[in-house]
Structure 1
Amino acid sequence: MHIDEIKKYWALLSHRTTANSAAARPAIERIIRQYSANGRYYHNIDHLSDLICFQQQYAPLIMDNDSIIYAIYFHDIIYRVTRKDNELRSAEEAAAYLTKAGYPEDKTQKVYRFILATAGHQNPLADPDLDFLLDFDLHILGALPDRYDAYTKQIRKEFDIYPGFMYRRGRKRVLQHFLAQPGIYRTAIFREKYELKARENLERELESL
């Protein structure tokens, strides 16, 4: 999905869901700038595009597609590896935009909570739609080995301000956290398609660190 398509999909979403269409254009321009910023080797416009494509693919299984799409657009709008509040700041920016645009308050709060949940990839809301969002965000873990290896190199480049020993220590914690979960993926369809491959990828990377 090219940037023009990402913008077109956003325009259709905004036209369909918000009362203040004037806010939509500057918002998508900022989203594109943020995801295209220097230093984003994985959490970039390609990642955004991938998640939008997953939403389109699984839309028939999602109850509130509009809120999922908004959460996707905003979930990594703030991303700095030196900060621990990226998800919170992204959620706040989403809520500020959606309030200004006239999106319903209850759905605005849903988008806010969905983005916060991407920090730990847990679903305290027990919302089936959130399960899909979290699985979309982790789809790369179940990629084919070559693509997964490219992803690990992209992540390392994002964290290149940290020396090797610090990065390996932190990365091991992340991998061990996911491997310790009963299931990396939350939806049955993603578990069936990606769970085994994801565990193989994570274990292989862990052994290499």
Structure 2
Amino acid sequence: MSTAPMTLAGRWPLPDHHDLRDELLAAWDRPGYHDLLHLEEVLDRLDRLAAAGAGFDRTAVALAAWFHDAVYEGAEDDEERSARWAERALPASYAGEVARLVRMTVHHRPDDDDPAGCALSDADLAILAAPRERYDAYVGGVRADFAHVGDADFRAGRAAVLADLAAKPHLFHTAQARDLWEAAARANLERELADLGRG
């Protein structure tokens, strides 16, 4: 086991089910953006949101972070397959809520009265606010995830996703995330959309 999985292993939110934890770590250990670093960053951002005062069920949301891209093959049903894995593998006290949260990440549009969904969505999308070097590496990782798609189609699809995000009144759903990340994320979106337009 490499250093990254060993570090993440200590952040597993259940006191047992270590075989499941190791299966998830193995699933995340892959190239592209949806890798172990992404999982670690989402967990880090959940910690920041909690420290900033966002209230949510930390165990359920952390488990949802572990599962949200556990299946990632670039298919339309990746999130659904990840949610079904959570339903099969987790204790009944968490299975339904974690699966619901994983399914929410298909569109990242949680209800305003869903603090768990808002926190997970914000932590997942906070990569948009990363410093330029990390943001550019993220974009490169996304391109690697879609290596099977031609350049023109990828650029068109990527531009559509970014334009949809940019059209939202707020990229982030919690006040804490807006304070932490909204301005930087908007700047990165504008820069990447401009780059895509020039291409």
TM-score (norm 2): 0.90
Instruction: Classify 1:97/1:130 alpha carbon distance in 2 versus 1 (closer, same or farther; 3 Å).
Output: same
Q: Which residue of 2 aligns with 1:50?
A: 41
Alignment deviations for residues 60-83 of structure 1 (CA, whole Å, 9 cap, x no partner): 5333111011101111100011x1
> What secondary structure does 2:10 align onto?
helix
Aligned residues between the structures: 192
Which residue of 2 is the match for residue 91 of structure 1? Answer: 83
Match for 1:3: what amino acid?
P
Cross-structure match for 2:158: 171
Match of 1:202 among 181, 186, 189: 189
Tell me by how many angstroms 1:124 deviates: 3.7
Map of 1:18 onto structure 2: none
Deviation >4 Å, runs of 4+: none
Stretches of structure 1 that go unaligned for 5 or more consecutive residues are 16-20
Q: Show structure 2 runs of 5+ residues with no match.
A: none
Provide closer, same or farther for how the CA distance between residues 53 and 118 of structure 1 changes in structure 2, counting only shifts above 3 A.
same
**Distance in 2 of aligned mates of 1:202 and 1:182:** 14
* Displacement after TM superposition at 1:50 (Å): 1.0
Q: Name the structure, 1 or 2, with higher relative contact order (CA <8 Å, separation 6+).
A: 2
Query: What TM-score, normalized to structure 1?
Result: 0.86
Match of 2:67 among 59, 65, 74: 74
Is 1:112 aligned to 2:114, yes or no? no
Percentage identity across aligned positions? 31
**Backbone CA RMSD of aligned residues:** 1.7
**How many angstroms does 1:49 deviate by?**
0.8
Q: Which has the higher mean CA deviation after the structures are superposed, 142-151 or 124-133?
A: 124-133
